[in-house]
Amino acid sequence: MALTGRAGLLAALGIVVVALAPRPGAALAGVCLLLAAAVVVDLLFAGAVRPLRFHRSGDRLVRLGRPVTVELVVENPGSRRVRGVLRDAWPPSAGVTPRTIELDVPAGERRRLTLTLAPTRRGDRESVAVTVRSLGPLGLAARQGTHRSPWSVRVLPPFLSRKHLPSRLARLRELDGRHPALVRGQGTEFDSLREYVVGDDVRSIDWRATARRHDVVVRTWRPERDRRVLIVLDTGRTSAGRVGEAPIPLAGAAAGGGGLLAAPDTRPVPGWPRLDWSMDAALLLAALAGRAGDRVDFLAYDRAVRAWVAGASRTELLTSLVNVMAPIEAELVEADAQGMVAAILSRAKRRCLVVLLTDLNPAAMDEGLMPVLPQLSSRHLVLVAAVSDPLVAAMAAGRDTAEEVYDAAAAEQARLARRRMTARLRRHGVEVVDAPPDDIAPALADAYLALKAAGRL
């Protein structure tokens, strides 16, 4: 049960009545009894909440940054009209509007309510409860009850880098030989035989076939296909650090200002975690590699396998990838590089391109990946992609005051360590892509295209 403001108002009016009445004691008793009686009557005649039934329909999947509507049908099988307010309780980051809805369902009828969700975070959002407050005819008191009406919405990564896909696909088609570049070279494999026409490279004449056919026959080549790409996402502590500016404001980003030191914080609002930028880059790479005819597998790992997608068909690849990526959050533990390499080796039997999305943090790399990297790079082609921090670059450029120069020195030190780590990785034969958050996805796609053009897959 619940009381309303009207009951409070009535009780407040009772003060005046009691103060002016000739027999205040009796007046007080009378007012209280009257109020109690009115509340009891209201509760008796309010529509029952318990027998209400709820049905839901609507979207279950949404990309982060897009609104989604969920419909809630309230069915009133009782004998009295249910009039009052309804609240559909979702977690705060589901961004449900409106918070409460006016409800008026006559007996035996049903009403359709529409809720709009504007999620501010990736992952699964589940409705917790539906609460109905059913007012009585006098509007003094209400019956209140809560129902569970499960519904969940999976908020997918936004895949913002898909705007880069058309230009990269155009470059892929250039490689693919739709343009007249049928030159034998590295990065190509035998496609078919055809008759020689003037202008073909004489080196591509297949003499054996020519002898058989009594005609000059040349071999044609095309870029290699059906190579394997394994995208490995490091979900350890280094991927939790926030970089760049969030293209879509994330829940909790604004709350990060305080921290332990409650000094006035004029620094920029933290952006997206490295993990989200890495996912964006991974999605662009997967889309591109899928179109290029390569097989893409996906592994997310910190101290255990968080997600594993293998052998998805080309049409379903992106769908299954965003689905497994949606609930992944960075774990605040040091990633187990040894376990990660073991997981990769056990899953990738044949040689493939291993794209490792992690951070080039020298301390973490020295402890973790560097000792076990040779095991990986001896069997596979390894590409390490890392999101660099534009804030560090901005700090390194500070020259105005001595304080800024001290900060610049610290930033320079960090960048130098990163460059040295990159150089060490390259000496191991590992490709490295180190780019700021806005560029990491196209940079990774370009690196992939360059490897493909060079036939190193």
Partner 1 sequence: MSVDMRPADNRESVSASPTVRSTWRSIRVAVLLGVLIVATAVAGVLLSSGDRASRPLDPDDTSLAGAKALAQLLRARGVTVERVDSVEAARARSAQGGRLLLITDVTAFDEGRLAAIPGDRLVVGDLYGLDDLAPGVRSLTGSPRERSREPACPLPAATAAGSAYLGAAAFSAPAGATGCYPAGEGWTLVSFPNAGGTTTVVGSGSFLTNQRLAEDGNAALALNLVGANRAVTWLVEPETPPVGEPAGPEGVSVYDLMPESVTWAVGMASIAVFVVALWRGRRLGPVVTERLPVVVRAAETVEGRGRLYRARRARARAADALRAGAVDRLTPRLGLGSSAARHEVVGALAVRTGLDARQVDAALYGPAPADDAGLVALARYLDSVERTIGEL
Provide the minimum distance between the beta carbon of 352 and partner 1 in the complex, in angstroms, as a whole number.
Answer: 25
Query: How many Cα atoms within 13 Å fall on the side-chain side of residue 214?
Result: 0
Q: Tell me the residue type at 130.
A: V
Candidates 12-20, 215-223, 295-303, 375-383; binding stretch for partner 1 (CB under 8 A): 12-20
Provide the minimum distance between the beta carbon of 99 and partner 1 in the complex, in angstroms, as a whole number.
Answer: 9
The separation between the first and the last C-alpha atoms of the chain, rounded to the nearest angstrom, is 68
Provide the minimum distance between the beta carbon of 356 and partner 1 in the complex, in angstroms, as a whole number.
Answer: 18
Burial code (b: 16+ CB inside 10 Å, e: under 16) for 125-157 equals: bebeebbbbbbbebebbbbeeeeebebebbbbb
Provide the minimum distance between the beta carbon of 368 and partner 1 in the complex, in angstroms, as a whole number.
Answer: 17
Candidates 104-112, 179-187, 218-226, 414-422; binding stretch for partner 1 (CB under 8 A): 414-422
**Site residue total, partner 1 (CB under 8 A):** 101
Provide the minimum distance between the beta carbon of 423 and partner 1 in the complex, in angstroms, as a whole number.
Answer: 7
Provide the minimum distance between the beta carbon of 301 and partner 1 in the complex, in angstroms, as a whole number.
Answer: 18
**Of these, 41, 56, 216, 247, which contacts partner 1 (CB under 8 A)?**
56
Cβ-based nearer residue to partner 1, 89 or 450: 89
Alpha-carbon distance of 457 to 248, in angstroms, equals: 35
375 binds partner 1 (CB under 8 A): no
**Of these, 179, 349, 399, 427, which contacts partner 1 (CB under 8 A)?**
399
Cβ-based nearer residue to partner 1, 24 or 374: 24
**Of these, 37, 40, 44, 53, which contacts partner 1 (CB under 8 A)?**
53
Alpha-carbon distance of 233 to 298, in angstroms, equals: 8
Footprint (CB under 8 A) of partner 1, residues 18-47: 18-21, 24-25, 27-28, 31-32, 35
User: In sequence order, what DSSP letters do the residues of 394-406 get, joined into one string?
Assistant: HHHT--SSHHHHH
Footprint (CB under 8 A) of partner 1, residues 154-173: 154
298 binds partner 1 (CB under 8 A): no
Cβ-based nearer residue to partner 1, 18 or 440: 18
Q: How many C-beta neighbours within 10 Å does residue 37 have?
A: 10
Cβ-based nearer residue to partner 1, 217 or 233: 233
CA 217, 219, 224 angle in degrees (round to 5)?
165
Cβ-based nearer residue to partner 1, 223 or 437: 437
Sign of the torsion angle spanned by Cα atoms 449, 455, 456, 457? positive
Cβ-based nearer residue to partner 1, 36 or 183: 36
147 binds partner 1 (CB under 8 A): yes
Cβ-based nearer residue to partner 1, 397 or 450: 397
Closest CA to 283 of 165, 383, 170, 173: 165
**Of these, 97, 152, 338, 378, which contacts partner 1 (CB under 8 A)?**
152
144 binds partner 1 (CB under 8 A): yes
Footprint (CB under 8 A) of partner 1, residues 71-130: 85, 87, 89-93, 100, 121, 128-130
Residue carrying structure tokens 């969030």 = 246
Instruction: List Cβ neighbours of 426 (8 Å cut-off, separation of 6 or more).
Output: 432
Burial code (b: 16+ CB inside 10 Å, e: under 16) for 382-414 equals: bbbbbbbbbbbeebbeeeeeeeeeebbeebeeb
**Of these, 7, 357, 364, 384, which contacts partner 1 (CB under 8 A)?**
7
Instruction: List Cβ neighbours of 327 (8 Å cut-off, separation of 6 or more).
Output: 122, 123, 124, 154
Footprint (CB under 8 A) of partner 1, residues 278-297: none
Cβ-based nearer residue to partner 1, 101 or 345: 101
Cβ-based nearer residue to partner 1, 188 or 235: 235
**Of these, 262, 266, 332, 346, which contacts partner 1 (CB under 8 A)?**
332
Q: Give the CA dihedral 170, 176, 178, 179, nearest 10 degrees.
A: 80
174 binds partner 1 (CB under 8 A): no
Structural tokens at position 375: 């095991």
Cβ-based nearer residue to partner 1, 145 or 247: 145
Closest CA to 272 of 401, 436, 394: 436
Footprint (CB under 8 A) of partner 1, residues 416-455: 416, 419, 423
Strands (E) across 252-338 are located at 272-273, 295-301, 305-309
Q: Which secondary structure element, helix H or strand E, spans residue 372, and what is its range?
A: helix 369-379
395 binds partner 1 (CB under 8 A): yes
- In degrees and rounded to multiples of 5, residue 419 shows phi and psi of -65, -40
Footprint (CB under 8 A) of partner 1, residues 199-258: 240-243, 250-253, 255-256
Q: How many C-beta neighbours within 10 Å does residue 188 have?
A: 19
C-alpha separations of 180 from 175, 177, 216, 225, 289 in Å:
10, 6, 20, 18, 22
Provide the minimum distance between the beta carbon of 239 and partner 1 in the complex, in angstroms, as a whole number.
Answer: 10
Provide the minimum distance between the beta carbon of 22 and partner 1 in the complex, in angstroms, as a whole number.
Answer: 9
Alpha-carbon distance of 331 to 238, in angstroms, equals: 9
